[in-house]
Amino acid sequence: MPSEIKREVTLEIVHVLFLDIVGYSKRLTDEQQALIDQLNQVVRNSAVFQKAEGADRLIKIPTGDGMALIFYNSPEQPVECALEISRELKWFPELSVRMGVHSGPVSAVTDLNDRTNAAGIGINVAQRVMDCGDSGHILLSKRVAEDLQQYGRWRPHLHDLGEVEVKHGIQVHVFNLYTDGAGNPDLPEKLRQAKPTQRPEPTPAPARPAQKGEAARERMSICVLPFANMSGDAEQEYFSDGISEDIITDLSKVSALHVISRNTAFTFKGKPVDVRQVAGQLNVSHVLEGSVRKAAGRVRITAQLIDGSNDSHVWAERYDRDLNDIFALQDEISHAIVDALKVKLLPEEKRAIEKHGTKNVDAYNVYLMARQARATGFEGDNRRNEVIVRLCRRATEIDPNYADAWALMALAEMLLRSAIARDSDGGLAAAERALSLNPELAEAHAVKARILSEEERHKEASKEIEAALRLDPESHEVNKCAAVLRFRQQRLEEAIGYFEKAVALEEMDFASAGLLITCYTAVGDREAAKRAAQIALARAEKVLAEDPNNGSAMGHGSDALAVLGQAERAKEWMGRALLIDPENLAMRYNFACALAIHLKDRDAALEMLGPVFEKIGAGLFNHSKVDPDLDPLRDDARFKAMLAAAEKRLELTS
């Protein structure tokens, strides 16, 4: 250990993540080593781990069946790291891991081999907290939980389990941390067997007080299923989906509620639903379902809140209002749900629920159309992006102060300019307008970061993405933008962490899985690249089952097939896609990457790239300059000529 770290460790308050493999001692010796190797790889893939290690602000202590990670800067570091590890572990079902986090003092010690190490109550308590959990649990000490409760983004995910007696009769007060995609919401077996000695009201309370011995799923948690469109017009689907999404957003602002994310809830869209089965599958106490009918300037919404444990109705109501009352109606529904669940609504949460991006129903209606186009399409679809720009422009003409519409317009304009050279600022003015109206809009910071990265203004972009991650670290859009930025900066290990999170947050995101293939291939992790390829292919096939002509899905899917050794099938996909959508430049670019790096066909790759570089936009051009998939072509005179010609054309255009 470097001497400077040794000095820092002495009597310093640090933040410890302790983790071990459940059932490790029962495994055979060779199995044990394989599990440790897997765990080490998972931990090393964490972006938080990599950042702290790179700054020499991390100590790693092997413990035989696991490890302790000591962070210096903030109690958020070990918690963020634990969440990243938990998401990654989903792909390793054979690896059962539990984790505990505590902040406390450690000091430097010297072992028998004269090596400096760390020890102290900070590490001991982290291990005792961890020992209270089962596989998948992320447990926190009360000290860490109270630190996190000062930040609104953490409060919905902290669940007080009370005081528990551990080794030597010591009492530790533990909290369970879990989100939709990480952690384990079940009550630990240790707490089921022995009732906690005390379950005080948390300060400030992240949830209603739990009863002694109460299972985690009996806490106030809810899944809002997509409301059915009863308008008799399939084109009104955007409106019913928009109502559902906004109710999810409003309820997510209530710290006493755990709300299933939109992406998870919408996997049930259009399917026959057994409410008790949904509640059990998602581990929630309640389910909200309903329908929307919009016609002739009026809207009728029916909603019913159901107890997931017995399928009984807790609350139900039908609303028939003028369309202009839609915002008041949304507030009324959210408040009714909160009242029915008997949870406490803090004053600032009440204000947040009642705050809307616009008060103009017409602007809101057009924005919902744009948002639906974004949710149901893919980045490489330029026609869809043009539709989004037109819709958002119309929404901002109706209400010039609609920050959400400005931010979505900025994203679509950026994607258009990235793919095809065009005379525009790539959405920068729209992003800045959004931020001037709402400086706390995470997606606006994220899209501005991506716009700046398109122009290779990476330092400014990093500042914006850090703001976005601070405001909403669980946003799919924010994590995807962060991943693309780090990719463009050639910081691939960090990009991997953000792409992994984006993949976990959005079940239809095949593009992030495709870029994970590139990253893992570049860093030499062939097994991880194959795993990413399996995800990308499964998602692409799911999209193509509904939309057989989707060029973006075929682009990433063919790359995945090439990685998985299915070269002929990959080429078949390419041939069919080029017949259907020959002008899709992003798709052609992905085909060229697969041909260059995986199929080792340089001539075919260069032929595929020819039409791309004739029309390529600045963003995709800058991407191509650092894309490791194209490295096999960089010494080829034909590739160099393509780059030079494209660069000259873009300079003339700008």
Dist CA 580 CA 587 (whole Å): 11
In angstroms and rounded to an integer, the radius of gyration of the C-alpha atoms of the chain is 26
Q: Does the residue 387 lie in any domain?
A: no
Residues 41, 181, single domain; the answer is: yes
Dist CA 590 CA 578 (whole Å): 12
Q: Tell me, what's the pLDDT at 114?
A: 55
- pLDDT per residue as tens digits for the range 272-294: 888 888 888 777 889 999 999 98
The string of DSSP codes covering 593-645 is: HIIIIIS--HHHHHHHHHHHHHHB-HHHHHHHHH-GGGGGGTT-HHHHHHHHH
Whether residue 105 is preceded by a cis peptide bond, meaning omega within 30 degrees of 0, is: no
b/e for 242-264, b at 16 or more Cβ within 10 A?
Answer: bbbbbbbbbbbbbbbbbbbbbbb
Residues 208, 226, single domain; the answer is: no
SS3 state at 549: coil
The DSSP symbol for 218 reads G
Q: Does the residue 262 lie in any domain?
A: yes
Domain region containing 280: 221-356
CA torsion, ordered 102, 220, 210, 254, to nearest 10 deg: 60
Residues 171, 251, single domain; the answer is: no
List helix spans (H) across 45-139: 47-54, 76-89, 121-131
Dist CA 398 CA 392 (whole Å): 10
The helices-and-strands tally (H runs, E runs) of the chain is 28, 14
Q: Tell me, what's the pLDDT at 467?
A: 93
Instruction: Answer with the one of 213, 234, 259 that is the final residue of a domain.
Output: 213
Residues 312, 251, single domain; the answer is: yes
- pLDDT per residue as tens digits for the range 577-614: 899 888 888 889 999 999 999 999 999 999 999 999 98
Q: Does the residue 435 lie in any domain?
A: no
- pLDDT per residue as tens digits for the range 190-220: 887 654 444 333 333 333 333 333 333 344 7
Residues 50, 158, single domain; the answer is: yes
Q: Tell me, what's the pLDDT at 5?
A: 38
Q: Tell me, what's the pLDDT at 3?
A: 35
Instruction: Answer with the one of 213, 244, 271 that is the final residue of a domain.
Output: 213
Pick from 156-170, 318-332, 386-400: least confident: 156-170
Dist CA 395 CA 399 (whole Å): 6
How far is it between the farthest Cα atoms of the chain? 82
Q: Tell me, what's the pLDDT at 329?
A: 86
Q: Does the residue 427 lie in any domain?
A: no
Residues 162, 259, single domain; the answer is: no
- pLDDT per residue as tens digits for the range 251-267: 887 877 888 877 778 87
Q: Does the residue 336 lie in any domain?
A: yes
Q: Tell me, what's the pLDDT at 503?
A: 84
Q: Please, which pLDDT band fits residue 634 given cuts at 50, 70 and 90? A: very high
Q: Please, which pLDDT band fits residue 652 given cuts at 50, 70 and 90? A: low
Residue with tokens 């329908």: 291
Dist CA 327 CA 323 (whole Å): 9
Q: Tell me, what's the pLDDT at 543?
A: 82
Pick from 25-39, 186-200, 529-543: least confident: 186-200
Residue 94 has pLDDT above 70, yes or no: yes
Residues 39, 162, single domain; the answer is: yes
SS3 state at 9: helix
Q: Give the angle subtended at the CA of 189 by the CAs of 91 and 474, to the nearest 5°.
A: 40
Residues 208, 241, single domain; the answer is: no
Q: Please, which pLDDT band fits residue 331 given cuts at 50, 70 and 90? A: confident
Residue 54 has pLDDT above 90, yes or no: no
Element spanning 333, H or E:
helix 326-341
Q: Tell me, what's the pLDDT at 118?
A: 62
Residues 184, 237, single domain; the answer is: no
| Residues facing residue 21 across a β-bridge | 97
Q: What is the CATH number of the domain that holds 560?
A: 1.25.40
Instruction: Answer with the one of 323, 356, 389 that is the final residue of a domain.
Output: 356
Residues 274, 180, single domain; the answer is: no
Query: Which residues, at least 6 apart from 594, have a Cβ–Cβ distance to it below 8 Å?
Result: 558, 559, 562, 570, 574, 629
CA distances from 161 to 139, 198, 223, 556, 576 (A): 9, 9, 22, 44, 56
Q: Please, which pLDDT band fits residue 6 given cuts at 50, 70 and 90? A: very low
Region for residue 270 given its phi and psi (left: phi exceeds 0; alpha: psi -120 to 50; beta: otherwise): left
Residue 12 has pLDDT above 80, yes or no: no
More confident residue, 151 or 176: 176
Q: Please, which pLDDT band fits residue 111 given cuts at 50, 70 and 90? A: low
Q: Give the angle subtended at the CA of 259 by the CAs of 255 and 265, to the nearest 5°.
A: 165
Supply 483's token pair.
């991943």
Q: Does the residue 579 lie in any domain?
A: yes
- 58-62 vs 66-71, strand pairing mode: antiparallel
Are 612 and 580 within 8 A, CB to CB?
A: no
Q: Does the residue 444 lie in any domain?
A: no
CA distances from 152 to 24, 162, 350, 417, 644 (A): 37, 21, 14, 36, 49
Q: What is the CATH number of the domain that holds 255?
A: 3.40.50.10610
Overall average pLDDT of the 183-195 stretch: 78
Residue 153 has pLDDT above 80, yes or no: no
Overall average pLDDT of the 133-151 stretch: 88
Q: Tell me, what's the pLDDT at 194?
A: 56
Are 206 and 156 within 8 A, CB to CB?
A: yes
Domain count, the chain: 3
Query: Which residues, at least 6 apart from 371, have a Cβ–Cβ distance to it below 8 Å?
Result: 238, 242, 245, 408
CA-CA-CA-CA torsion sign (258, 510, 634, 597): positive
Q: Tell me, what's the pLDDT at 405?
A: 95
Overall average pLDDT of the 567-573 stretch: 93
Residues 63, 151, single domain; the answer is: yes
Q: Does the residue 452 lie in any domain?
A: no
Residues 188, 231, single domain; the answer is: no
Q: pLDDT averaged over the chain?
A: 83
Overall average pLDDT of the 130-140 stretch: 93
Q: Tell me, what's the pLDDT at 110?
A: 52
Q: Tell me, what's the pLDDT at 357?
A: 81
Dist CA 102 CA 131 (whole Å): 13
